[in-house]
Amino acid sequence: MALDRELVGRSYPPSAVYEVGRGKLAEFAAAIGSDDPVHTDPAAARAAGHPDVIAPPTFAITVTLAAAMIVLDDPDVGIDYSRVVHGEQRFTHHRPIRAGDRLVATTTIDAARSVAGNDLLTARVDLATEDGEPVCTSLSMLVARGEA
């Protein structure tokens, strides 16, 4: 099914608050093999000018990908989840995510088009603190492969 361009600009209600914990950041840093102490040691993070330990740059995906996927629950989008692969990813960091952040994700359809039978949908997820401070903007292009 061809995607409707009218979907571009559609926004979804903000997510529940995601509280960033030191343990989760340390677990993620270990999983990607990063041993930089700014991810695990609050004193090292403070020495580098951060209020608390900071996330590796791609940690944001643990919050933003689930937020992006909510567009697939929209009946007007009409994409079958089982056909979807992650085509492109982009992060713009307004500041590093850090332990103690209480983040809210707001999802908007940034682009929608159909190319050669595949549906390409870009979901923008704006991560901000509960108080509205912008933290990270994530663009995830989801590709729904056409049923050949």
Sole window of 7-15, 22-30, 70-78, 112-120 interacting with another protein (rule: CB under 8 A): 22-30
Compare residues 38 and 77 and give the one whose CB is closer to another protein.
Answer: 38
Phi/psi at 105 (nearest 5 deg)? -105, 130
Compare residues 75 and 115 and give the one whose CB is closer to another protein.
Answer: 115
Compare residues 86 and 113 and give the one whose CB is closer to another protein.
Answer: 86
Compare residues 14 and 37 and give the one whose CB is closer to another protein.
Answer: 37
66 touches another protein (CB under 8 A): yes
Classified as helix, coil or strand, 90 is strand
17 touches another protein (CB under 8 A): no
CA distance 79 to 14: 21
Residue 26 CB burial class (10 angstroms; 0-12, 13-18, ≥19): middle
Identified binder of another protein from the candidate list 47, 92, 113, 130, rule CB under 8 A: 92
CA distance 22 to 99: 5
CA distance 64 to 15: 10
Compare residues 3 and 54 and give the one whose CB is closer to another protein.
Answer: 54
103 touches another protein (CB under 8 A): no
Query: Which tokens in the block code for residue 30?
Result: 């270990």
Nearest by Cα to 141 from 109, 97, 115: 109
Q: Which residues bind another protein (CB under 8 A)?
A: 24, 27-28, 30-34, 36, 38-39, 48, 50, 54, 56-58, 61-62, 65-66, 85-93, 95-96, 139
